[in-house]
Structure 1
Amino acid sequence: MLFKNVIGQTDVKLHLVNMVQQNRISHALLFLGKEGSGALPMAIAFAQYIVCEKVNRKGATESVGLSLFGEETPPPPGEAGRGPSAMFDSCGECPSCLKMHQLMHPDVHFSYPVIPRKSGDKPLSSDYISEWREFIAKYPYGNSYDWLQFIGAENKQGNITAYECNDIIRKLSLKSFESGFKILVMWMPEYLGNEGNKLLKLIEEPPPNTLFVLVAENESLILQTILSRTQLIKIPALNYQDISEALVTKAKVGEDSARQTALIAEGNYREALQLMQHADEDWQSLLREWLNAILKNGPIAQVKWIDEVSKLGREKQKQFIRYFTHLLEQAIRLHAMGPNNVHLPDKDKDFAGRLNKIANFMQQQAIIEELDKASYYIERNANPKMLFHALTIKLYHILASKEVTTVI
């Protein structure tokens, strides 16, 4: 993967290139970015940049100072005085780049959460390498849920096991085959339990020209012993212009639809793609029915609505909650900044204005917090009927503290 194929993140790309060109890379890097920011594509593009033969003139052992970690290496005959290549992206054409394009480079290893295929198995990431290559080709901005469903996990919990850690130690103890470097890209180290301590010595004192690249979404779930040994590379949320442009060029979405979707996605390209898949869903009618059941129509209407929404499936339920959260956030902005400074379709702007009539700022904040909790529990297979029943009761009590004069 080339840097140019990674959406946006111009400053991060330039920072990574400068780190390589100036030989200032730590032996262990942590690419930290929320879902949909592109941390995994960035890490893969970075690994390709390091092993690209044109960038590094056929490997660190033949180039000037390109050990990447600050150590001096002697220049080859006739090369004295030449600095490292000033290329700002991998070439995409050399044998190393062609292998990286297929995720088949022998010196770049991947580790990620996996499940046993059958009871008693001790699964390794390499057991799922074919599925991994297909997943990255189709869903480079996918999250761990997407990956685990892709390999048929259903309700099983993925893990990076002690058995996997032993395999990593074995792989990185071998000499590099082609590039002069050995690189491990570990995606979602949050799935690494205490068995990850097996890797501490290897991370702290790795063999020469060995690089760990951890790719994570939640820093607080990573073992502190590993976290303290990494150099942090923050991957910020994408801006809405980059998402909008990517939807037009990559997903072939119309400009108006792409712009509206990018605003709702709030920096998450995966979310934007999910929203486009459900673009025909009438979330506003579903939300209006729910609020009317809470505020006006009573328990029978609420039970009917809960039965309806519980049949939608987990992804659609998350999208619906995301839509409601977005409207509440826009309602707050509408109240604070005025209608001329909030860019929304007229239909959604009118609905956001109605939300301001039935709930004040504090109530809207409380509802957003409950919706965030509900989304979290949906991801963890909560019973949808119980979840939405509890959520309906909570919203009723939040809204009941204000006299409602207008029904949505």
Structure 2
Amino acid sequence: MLFSKILGLPHIKSYLTTSADRGRIPHAQLFVGASGSGTLPMAIAYAQYILCTNQNSENTGGNQACNVKFDHLAHPDLHFAYPVATNDKVKKHPTSDAFAEEWRSFVQQNPYGNIFDWYLSLGIENKQGQIGVDEAQDIVKKLSLKSYEGGYKIMLIWMADKMNTSASNKLLKLIEEPPEKTIFLLITEEEEQIIQTIRSRCQVLHFPPLGEEVIQKELIDHHNLSETEALKIAHQANGNFNRAMHLLHHDGGEEQFEEWFIQWVRTAFKAKGNKSAINELITWSESIASTGRETQKQFLGYCMDFFRQAMLLNYKADMLVFLEPKTSGFQLEKFAPFIHDNNIIEITEELQDAMYHIERNGNSKIILTDLSIKLTRLLHKKSGI
């Protein structure tokens, strides 16, 4: 993967290639960035730069045979670990190796894809993937062997926050004191979800959201959009290139999320002192609970963004508002005054709590019904200003 193909982030590219050129490569690094910011393609390009002894800040000029292997993500000294779960193909003890073919296809088609896209590609969107102790044992086994080509071995762990406690504890000593010429590259969107003892042993590199102009240029140059169309999508993407692609192809599920959200808040507004509306909220909760847990978590994350956007619009921060609801009869300008200083923190906390309990296999119907009743109260709170 060429660094020139990775959008933006010139300072990170320069830092990584310069450190490799000088032979100052930390044995454990943690790439932290929001979805669609380019952490995965950057990690792969960095691994290629090291393993293929490339030069001049680009993945050319080194070992050509090695570079060809990277084109197919098939270098024997680059190992991957990522969240998986059982499906029709793998009935028990799922590990990354069992899904290697699907992983290569996923990365080559959409290196900016998020974890939900990955689960969809495996057909496990109704399950919660993880990096478990079986995976940790495989990692220990792989890294105990000598490298195939006599140089470095690199273990790239994508979505390292999905490591369960057993896996984290099993890998802790290895990350702290890896074998000679062994490098760990951990990637996460949620740094705090990785246990502190692992984080403290990694050099952390934070990836900012992509610039609006960077996404706009990519859409114009490679997706045949006009400047106006590209600017609109780039603004709505809010620094997330994966979201820009979903907006371009209308396949990100946001239309469905918007429909659920607007139905939810409209019913919540009616529900105060209205028994029939309470029944509607319960019915709504049941319908959302019938979807997979990952879908529920994605939806609650979407709700959080929607409420934040409404608050920004309420306080006249129009330049930061990228959301453009398409539902007939719903106007963000009219909804915005109901989201303010006196309820936004509580709304956010309730959504975060719901996501936490759903992730830990709580009863989704009860969690979402409780959340809906609380939302009814919070939407009717008056601003303190």
Q: Same fold (TM over 0.5)?
A: yes
CA contact (8 A) 2:85 2:129 kept: yes
Residue 166 (structure 1) aligned to one of 126, 133, 137? 137
Structure 2 residue 152 is matched with structure 1 residue 181: yes
Worse-superposed segment, 210-219 or 255-264: 255-264
CA contact (8 A) 1:327 1:352 kept: no
Distance 1:371 1:260, change over 3 A: farther
Matched letter for residue 173 of structure 1: S
Counterpart-to-counterpart distance in 1, 2:31 and 2:319 = 38
CA contact (8 A) 2:85 2:124 kept: yes
Structure 2 residue 323 is matched with structure 1 residue 352: no
Where in structure 2 are the equivalents of 1:247-286 lying within 5 Å? 247-249=219-221, 255-275=227-247, 276-277=250-251, 281=255
Residue 206 (structure 2) aligned to one of 234, 246, 270? 234
Q: Percent identity?
A: 38
Matched letter for residue 141 of structure 2: R
Shift of 1:147: 2.7
Distance 1:309 1:11, change over 3 A: farther
Shift of 1:397: 0.9
Output one character per residue of 1:38-85: Cα deviation in whole Å (capped at 9) or x when no partner.
2122111111111235x2xxxxxxxxxxxxxxxxxxxxxxxxxxxxx4
Distance 1:138 1:306, change over 3 A: farther
Matched letter for residue 313 of structure 2: L
Distance 1:224 1:331, change over 3 A: closer
Where in structure 2 are the equivalents of 1:100-249 lying within 5 Å? 100-116=70-86, 121-178=92-149, 180-190=151-161, 191-249=163-221
Distance 1:252 1:307, change over 3 A: farther
Structure 1: runs of 5+ lacking an equivalent: 56-84, 404-408
Matched letter for residue 346 of structure 2: A
CA contact (8 A) 2:84 2:130 kept: yes
Question: RMSD of the TM alignment (CA)?
Answer: 3.8
Output one character per residue of 1:98-145: Cα deviation in whole Å (capped at 9) or x when no partner.
1111110111111223335666x4444222211211121223223334
SS state at 1:215 partner: strand
Q: Which residue of 1 aligns with 2:313?
A: 334
CA contact (8 A) 2:135 2:167 kept: no
Shift of 1:217: 2.3
Counterpart-to-counterpart distance in 1, 2:90 and 2:59 = 40
Counterpart-to-counterpart distance in 1, 2:319 and 2:132 = 53
Worse-superposed segment, 333-342 or 215-224: 333-342
Shift of 1:95: 1.5
Output one character per residue of 1:157-207: Cα deviation in whole Å (capped at 9) or x when no partner.
434344433333332233323362211112223214334444444434433
Distance 1:316 1:250, change over 3 A: farther
Matched letter for residue 308 of structure 2: E
Shift of 1:371: 3.9
Counterpart-to-counterpart distance in 1, 2:144 and 2:302 = 49
CA contact (8 A) 1:293 1:299 kept: no
Matched letter for residue 32 of structure 1: V
CA contact (8 A) 1:185 1:214 kept: yes
Structure 2 residue 70 is matched with structure 1 residue 90: no
CA contact (8 A) 2:268 2:281 kept: no
Counterpart-to-counterpart distance in 2, 1:343 and 1:147 = 26
Residue 389 (structure 1) aligned to one of 353, 366, 369? 369
Shift of 1:90: 0.3
SS state at 1:37 partner: coil
Which of structures 1 and 2 has the bigger CA Rg? Answer: 1
Matched letter for residue 203 of structure 1: I
TM-score, with length taken from structure 1 = 0.74
CA contact (8 A) 1:289 1:305 kept: no
